[in-house]
Amino acid sequence: MVTNIGMMDSAYFVGRSEILAWINSTLQLNLSKVEEACSGAVHCQLMDSVHPGTVPMHKVNFDAKSEYEMIQNYKVLQDVFNKLKITKHIEVSKLVKGRPLDNLEFMQWMKKYCDSVNGGQHSYHALERREASKGGKEATKRAAATQQSGKSSSSSGAPRPSSSNGTRKHEPQSSNTGTHHSSTGNHHSSKPSAKQSKPVPAYDEKITELKLYIDSLEKERDFYFSKLRDVEILCQNPDTEHLPLVGSIKRILYAADGEDVGAAAETAEIQTLSPIAEGSEERRNSVIESQKRKLIVNLDVDAAAITTLSPRQRLSDASDVKCSGSSPLLTC
């Protein structure tokens, strides 16, 4: 039985369509998106399917809409995890937001776990078990209605054999001409609506992809910002905050948009030059000029390296990150 599954496990490479097909076939539902299971009720019943009788289904709410009601479902799920000694951490605050990436990752873990328990070989009466929970009957009715509407739309969209050429020979020329034209008119008027309904799944898939991309960018932004925050904490250490190098790093961290960081760094570098004996003015000037040239070259190299970074490698503005504290980096 698998409880600890690493992020590089094959479970996290299962696609959304396979996950949805597994949920709908196991629980006899008709979900079209993984994030529709963000209320936690689906997770509870999935655990009930592999551990019958372990989940108190009467405490599960399939009609949960608010975050408070969803959290109650995740409390039931956490109690089940504790009974089974499952150490998987449930990130409730992220799942209840309905974010596609977070819900997909957790559902991928659920599928891996459920497949590892008896391989899902035992029979499970999903409808009967769901009736004991709050909103379970309504969820079953919604799933049935969605399936029925999907079947009717697919059947209505199928091409029908035309018999107008065969019947026209037997019908009088003067009869039902008006109805014939009206039927053809209705036929042509129904075509645009059929065409408009076809691209909808493609748009939904594109929106889901964009949401996943945004989630990955936010995680990358938070990762690099945490690195900068660690550097700032290190610079605030009383043992090192008075060092010239630490001062230069702070100036770079706290520089405002458009501020010339190179000039400030150059001044700090000149101030840290080793003392030269009095009376050797020419030697002092030559040393200062050589160190200036080195500083300018280093700044040019750093600027060129920064410009070659890809947009995803650059850190987003610090004001986009929810933060707290007195540090200039944490100013919101």
Cα angle, residue 87 at apex, residues 85 and 90 outer, rounded to 5°: 120
Measure the N-to-C terminal CA separation of the chain; round to a whole number of Å: 46
Of these ranges, 198-207, 295-304, 319-328, the one predicted with the greatest mean pLDDT is 198-207
Count how many residues are written for the chain.
332
Note the pLDDT of residue 58.
92
Helices marked H in the chain: 16-27, 41-50, 67-84, 92-95, 100-116, 126-131, 136-157, 164-168, 177-197, 200-235, 244-253, 261-271, 281-307
219-260 residue pLDDT tens: 888 888 888 888 888 888 888 888 888 888 888 888 877 676
Query: What dihedral angle (degrees, nearest 10) is formed by the CA atoms of 282, 283, 288, 293?
Result: 100
Look up residue 117 and give its DSSP letter: S
As annotated, the residues of the chain forming the CATH 1.10.418.10 domain(s) are 10-138
**182 has a pLDDT exceeding 50:** no
The CA distances from residue 176 to 156, 165, 184, 189, in Å, are: 25, 15, 12, 20
Residue closest to 114 by CA, chosen among 80, 147, 74? 80
Residue that is written with structure tokens 């009376």 in the block:
279
Tell me the whole-structure pTM to 2 decimals. Answer: 0.47
Superfamily in which the 10-138 domain is placed by CATH: Calponin-like domain (1.10.418.10)
